[in-house]
Structure 1
Amino acid sequence: MMTQPSHFIRWLTLAGTILTQFALGSVYTWSLFNGPLAQKLGQPIIQVAFAFGLLSLAMAVASTTAGKFQERFGVRKVTIGAGLLLGVGLCLTGWSSSLTMLWLCTGILVGLADGIGYLLTLSNCVKWFPERKGVISACAIGAYGLGSLGFKYINSQLLAHSSLESTFALWGAIALLMVVSGAMMMKDAPRQDVRQQSAVRDYTLAESMRMPQYWLLALMFVTAFMSGLYVIGVAKDIGENLVHLTTAVAANAVTIIAIANLSGRLVLGVLSDRMSRIRVVSLAQVIAMAGMAMLLFVHLNETLFFLSLACVAFSFGGTITVYPSLVSDFFGLNNLTKNYGIIYLGFGIGSIIGSLVASLFGGFMVTFQLIAVLLVIALIISLTLRQPGDDGKHSYRLGHAHGD
């Protein structure tokens, strides 16, 4: 039974996590700055935009170290450090005088700060609420998604009324203040008593990585991210080139994706506390396949195009919300930060593979075909996967390690 002070601390930690995640999500406003930075540096936009690719990769790599940092310093100190690094990285980005400095400041400093802060605060918060992991993931990851929308307005206003350097400095200061304020509200989650968790035991990272289930979950994760990140990244171009929409109409894809993405996080996150999480992932895969089938096989008009995007974005948002809790169902809560950290590398791998296939083999359709095949394989995996030690008699309880 949780004591009153512990009950208060975990809700305070949730509030701090939401505040921190909102600030960390601000990096997804990066596209606002491609044009102004390209003009300042006298470089093509594609070279400037590469900084965000590096940032995404650094985020994925940084997530693998979050668990070790938490063990040594605790969630509060590491989050404060991530906030300081984020603020400094953004400030230095504004003063970049070359592509190399831009890539270093944005791609490395901001990416590392965001990756460590994101995974650490998320997994720590989920550990505080073992009985409602799905809802808590939805709150935290939903805040991260809302951060991109909130800061889109903030950064647009800053760009309109300040110099580029001042905009980055103010963005960095606001993000730093929010992350540090959030960190001061957080406390490390207590270790879970494994004896009370009849359905799952805690596995170390080394033990988890020796199991086929770990790598099958990782493959499903890469597939989800490849489909989501690739389609979201080129949505406007698909609208213009495949559906022959005007630039203005195709740009509405950004709004459709944002709404569907957030809806997926909230709906599937809440659903995952009421039914088997592996089945929620299966549902997300079916929805993504429906979207991909429309892109591949249907003669698209404006409505069907936006519906296909909504399917992919809904699935993507839901999957990223459910996955931390799903990994804890399979391998336990106490080592979640480390166990999920390696799987989260799929974020970077998925985005790179999608872009690479498109550039090597000539565009959208080949990439869609590959994604569709991988989604079929991932669905077969999710429908047949069993938890470690599960003999198959209790497969209906997959995802209910907390005994709902």
Structure 2
Amino acid sequence: MAVPSFLARERIIARPGFNRWLIPPAALAVHLCIGQAYATSVYKAALVSHFESSLTAIGIIFSIAIVMLGLAAALFGTWVDRNGPRAAMFTSACFWVTGFLVGSLGIATDQLWLLYVGYGVIGGIGLGIGYISPVSTLIKWFPDRPGLATGMAIMGFGGGALIASPLSRQLMSFYDPAYDPKVPTSIASGHAVSMLFLTLGLVYLVFMMFGAFIVRVPADGWKPAGWDPSMVKHRELVTTASVSAGNAIRTPQFWLLWVVLFCNVTAGIGILEQASPMIQDFFRQGDGSLVAGAAATGFVGLLSLFNMGGRFAWSTTSDFIGRKPIYMVYLGVGMILYVLLATVGSSATWLFVILAALIISFYGGGFATVPAYLRDLFGTYQVGAIHGRLLTAWSAAGVAGPLIVNGVLDTQGTPGELVAGNYRPALFIMVGLLAVGFVANLLIKPVASRWHEPSTASSTAVPEGASR
């Protein structure tokens, strides 16, 4: 599919002397906007009230968006690689913003199905394309620090909720004076949420287009000053060869890494999905009163902070200790943290918060490190397309995680009456999942040379970040 000339790769080849540190802000401009997906809980109760529906029916909107994220990333990954980051970011903005506008119309006209189609399907496509759009470009601009580069961008997706949550509350209070964002029981009107969607769509359009029009790709043969490409191959799993997206999905390494990501994400979503009620249930007193109810809102914000910080800190650490060892930390230490959370997590609020925050930092770190892991295994050629296919693990985890936790809790008692012990079966299931991921990570070996592209083919093709 051809793109207009102003979006073409040839128009965004960087001139000599271009500062590569302008690329992370371009990526952040997109990821901070699409990271709003983590802030849907802010207006969930308002939508339930407006549509006179259930939490499950409203929660499906988020699930649809995450499923479409994975599918869009997989289907459009090669297109993103071929046409470059500006075309991808521009397309992502169009879908993401259209999703908000259609969703706003659905709320205003009391048509829940329009919200499913708008935010869920159309917006979800924008999520998928936007998520992968800057990744391989950043890897090519920062071949010396790929973990740092992808961490800087994907950190924005984890931190998008830190901006969107308070902004959404303030905007809803502006559109509905009866709504008080400081009162947990206060619920905004449907009109306020509709106007919120309209406003966010227009604001995100500006910022995402800013990112699209400042992004650049390096010229053929560019490398950072003083960097020797031969230094890349200093660990067993790091290759200087190239593997196409079509061949990558035929390798055991791809599917082992798919299992690793699925297990890590499923375990993390289990806590994110239940964050607010979980801390209250863990510290519910015998008479049913809550000793940590006031801390629930702050706890959710803290998890968002660790989700964002983990994406940068852990992925940067992987540049020094390697991708496989850092995943051994995510999964191995994660198992220990989950066991502690299940057994002694309810003994003290501060202990519960620390354990949960570390687990979520590993969840975020897993997302940010995986593009660099793919680059190590398969090279930079079509790494964006490979990343897109791998994100189907996120789609599967986005469905599996909530189903596991909610399914277990449904057998344990009535919401609002649960206590710490009711969560233990679900938490131990997460331990088992992390164990599976740990073994899968151990089994990852270098990709066999028979999957490598011929040197002439990979040098003449046009992967993400290159040009003719």
Give TM-score scaled by structure 1 length. Answer: 0.89
Alpha-carbon shift at residue 153 of structure 1 (Å): 2.4
SS state of the match for residue 64, structure 1? helix
Alignment of 1:258-273 (within 5 A): 258-273=304-319
Partner of 1:250: 296
- Relative to structure 2, which stretch is displaced further, 380-389 or 286-295? 380-389
Matched residue, 2:88 = 78
Unaligned runs of 5+ in 1: 391-404
Q: Deviations over 1:66-95 (max 9, x none)?
A: 323224543212211211221121022112
Q: Supply the AA of the counterpart residue of 1:181.
A: F
Taking structure 1 as reference, are residues 126 and 80 closer, same or farther at Cα in structure 2, changes over 3 Å only?
same
Question: What SS class does the counterpart of residue 160 from structure 1 fall into?
Answer: helix
Distance 1:93-1:261 versus aligned 2 partners, 3 A rule = same
Q: Which residue of 2 aligns with 1:316?
A: 363
* Structure 2: distance between partners of 1:262 and 1:22: 10
Report how far residue 191 of structure 1 moved: 6.7
Unmatched 5+ residue regions in structure 2? 1-12, 176-191, 223-228, 234-238, 285-290, 413-422, 450-468
Check if 1:235 corresponds to 2:275.
yes
Change in 2 beyond 3 A, CA 1:286/1:192: farther
The residue number in structure 2 matching 1:371 is: 430
- Of Structure 1 and Structure 2, which has the larger fraction of its residues in helix? 1
131 and 72 in structure 1: CA distance in 2 versus 1, 3 angstrom threshold = closer
Instruction: Quickly say closer, same or farther: Cα 1:4–1:256, change in 2 above 3 A.
Output: closer
The one-letter code of the counterpart of 1:223 is C
Alignment of 1:64-75 (within 5 A): 64-75=74-85
CA RMSD of aligned residues (A): 2.4
Give the 3 Å change call, closer, same or farther, for CA 68–383 of structure 1 in structure 2: closer
Mark the CA change 1:299 to 1:228 in structure 2 (over 3 Å): closer, same or farther: closer
Give the SS at the match of 2:42: helix
Moved more, 278-287 or 68-77: 68-77
- Determine if the alignment matches structure 1 residue 332 to structure 2 residue 379: yes
Aligned counterpart, 1:348: 395
Which residue of the partner structure matches residue 132 of structure 2? 119
CA distance in 1, matches of 2:145, 2:404: 39
The answer to whether the Cα contact below 8 Å between 2:159 and 2:307 also exists between their aligned partners in 1 is: no
Match of 2:459 in 1: none
Moved more, 54-63 or 372-381: 372-381
Counterpart CA distance in 2 for 1:82 and 1:26 is: 14
Aligned partners of 1:31 and 1:296: how far apart in 2?
25
Compute the displacement of 1:376 (Å): 1.9
Distance of aligned partners of 1:190 and 1:64 in 2 relative to their CA distance in 1, 3 Å threshold: farther
Structure 2 Cα separation of the partners of residues 191 and 315 of structure 1: 36
Does the C-alpha gap of structure 1 residues 350 and 192 become closer, same or farther in structure 2, counting only changes over 3 Å?
A: farther
Q: Cα distance, 1:382 vs. partner?
A: 2.6
Compared CA separation, residues 340 and 189, structure 1 to 2 (3 A): farther
Superposition misfits of 4+ residues, deviation over 4 angstroms: 189-193, 195-198
Q: Take 2:217 and 2:119, find their aligned partners in 1: how far apart are those partners?
A: 29
- Match status 1:298 vs 2:340: no
Aligned pair partner of 2:174 in 154, 157, 161: 161
| Paired position in structure 2 for 1:219 | 259
Contact 1:66–1:119 (CA under 8 A) maintained in structure 2: no
Determine the structure 2 residue equivalent to 1:400.
Answer: none
Aligned CA distance change for structure 1 residues 25 and 359 (closer, same or farther; 3 Å): closer
For residues 383 and 444 of structure 2, the distance between their equivalents in structure 1, rounded to whole angstroms, comes to: 19
Deviations 1:12-46 (A, max 9, x none): 33321121111121222211121222233232233
Question: Could you tell which deviates more after superposition, 90-99 or 354-363?
Answer: 354-363
Residue 326 (structure 1) shift: 0.5
- Over alpha carbons, which structure has the higher Rg? 2
1:359 to 1:18, Cα distance in 2 relative to 1, 3 A: closer
Contact 2:81 2:384 in 1 (8 A): no
* TM-score, with length taken from structure 2: 0.77
1:183 corresponds, among 206, 212, 231, to: 212
1:37-52, aligned counterparts within 5 Å?
Answer: 37-52=47-62
Deviation at 1:299, TM superposition (A): 5.6
Shift of 1:251: 3.4
More off after superposition, 58-67 vs 325-334: 58-67
- Contact map agreement 2:276 2:297 (CA 8 A) in 1: yes
Whole-angstrom CA distance in 1 between matches of 2:217 and 2:15: 14
Q: Distance in 2 between matches of 1:292 and 1:115?
A: 30
- 1:147: which partner in 2? 160
Query: In the superposition, relative to structure 1, how do residues 153 and 236 fare at CA in structure 2: closer, same or farther (>3 Å)?
Result: closer
What CA deviation, in whole Å up to 9, does each residue of 1:317-342 have, x standing for no partner? 11111111001100111111111112
Alignment partners' CA distance in 1, 2:16 and 2:60 = 44
Distance 1:214 1:305 in 2: 35
C-alpha separation in 1, matches of 2:64 and 2:53: 17
Residue type of the alignment partner of 1:338: A
| In structure 2, distance between residues paired with 1:139 and 1:241 | 35
CA distance in 1 between counterparts of 2:61 and 2:268 reads 20
Distance 2:166 2:406 in 1: 33
User: 1-side partners of 2:165 and 2:403: how far apart?
Assistant: 28
Contact 1:76–1:183 (Cα < 8 Å) also in 2: yes
Name the counterpart of 1:136.
149
Does the residue aligned with 1:251 lie in a helix, a strand or coil?
helix
Counterpart Cα distance in 1 of 2:218 and 2:80: 11
Q: Residue 377 of structure 2 aligns to a residue in which SS?
A: helix
Amino acid in structure 2 at the alignment position of 1:58? M
Distance 2:122 2:390 in 1: 22
